[in-house]
Amino acid sequence: MASTNKSRVLKVEPLNHTDAKWATLVKITYSDPEGVTRDWEASERLTRPKGSDIDGVGVVAILQDPSKPDQSPRILLQKQWRPPVNATVIEVPAGLIDPKESAEVCAVRELKEETGYVGEVVGEGFGVSPIMFNDPGFCNTNLRMIHVTVDLSLPENQNPEPSLEENEFIETFSVPLKDLWDECRKFEAEGYAIDARVGTLAEGVECAKRWKLH
């Protein structure tokens, strides 16, 4: 396992939904297209704010220095150990949405808190993704991905200082976006787990390169 991983699982126990604060298990009774009544089991977060249509956001933050236009854009990534998978995961910055917070505001806030960088949401219809469901056959958890650029020439981005909670241990780094697929394969070989947002973004970039989708 990766050298950053000093965390470890001590015990895993079944949890009754009446004792849970953050997650729950539900039985869904539904009517199928032919009118047959069927059951489905699913899990849900208990943290989605009332009135919000998402649990949180992920941030695709692209680092750029306008004075160095020849540099290939880099994507900001994180290493964070996650109890549910008992591994250090390669992720994009992300977080749960606060009550009445917009997805864009949440993304810029989480980026600053987790990495110290000040970013700007990109325009031209590419700043805010549709709502994406993480595993819709299993749970209702979802997010919007927010696309942000970080201008490395700005004074506020010279010495980025994260403001982490006392139970958060996050290491920030970056890789060239065009090499993300190869980087994911390397990280897996080193014992890291790959978050689906990172791996699937890498697949999309690689598809575009291989199929010459300009």
Looking at residues 182 to 201 of the shown chain, list those that interact with a copy of itself (rule: CB under 8 A).
184-185, 187-188, 193-197, 199-201
Among 51, 123, 130, 155, binds a copy of itself (CB under 8 A): 130
User: Least distance to a copy of itself from the beta carbon of 206, Å?
Assistant: 6
- Per CB under 8 A, does 17 bind a copy of itself? yes
User: Least distance to a copy of itself from the beta carbon of 152, Å?
Assistant: 15
User: Least distance to a copy of itself from the beta carbon of 180, Å?
Assistant: 8
- The pair phi, psi for residue 205, each rounded to 5°, is -60, -45
Paired sense of beta strands 56-64 and 23-31, if any: unpaired
**Residue matched to tokens 């649990």:** 55
Count of residues of this chain found to bind a copy of itself when the rule CB under 8 A is applied: 98
What track of x and - describes contact with a copy of itself for positions 94 through 123 (by CB under 8 A)? ------------------------------
User: What residues from 35 to 54 belong to the interface with a copy of itself (CB under 8 A)?
Assistant: 36-38, 40-45
Virtual torsion, Cα 164, 170, 173, 177, nearest 10 deg: -100
Binding segment for a copy of itself (CB under 8 A), chosen from 99-107, 109-117, 152-160, 206-214, is: 206-214
Position 117: which residue type? Y
- Tokens at residue 15, please? 């949890």
Q: b/e for 35-67, b at 16 or more Cβ within 10 A?
A: eeeeeeeeeeeeebeeebebbbbbbbbbbeeee
Alpha helices in 97-177, H assignment, sequence order: 103-115
Residues 6+ apart with CB under 8 A from 185: none
Q: What is the dihedral sign for C-alpha 184, 4, 135, 114?
A: negative
How many Å apart are CA 119 and CA 82, to the nearest integer?
25
Paired sense of beta strands 128-133 and 56-64, if any: unpaired
User: What residues from 56 to 85 belong to the interface with a copy of itself (CB under 8 A)?
Assistant: 60, 62, 72-73, 81-85
Binding segment for a copy of itself (CB under 8 A), chosen from 27-35, 97-105, 110-118, 155-163, is: 27-35
User: What residues from 152 to 181 belong to the interface with a copy of itself (CB under 8 A)?
Assistant: 167, 169, 177-178, 181
Among 140, 151, 160, 174, binds a copy of itself (CB under 8 A): 140
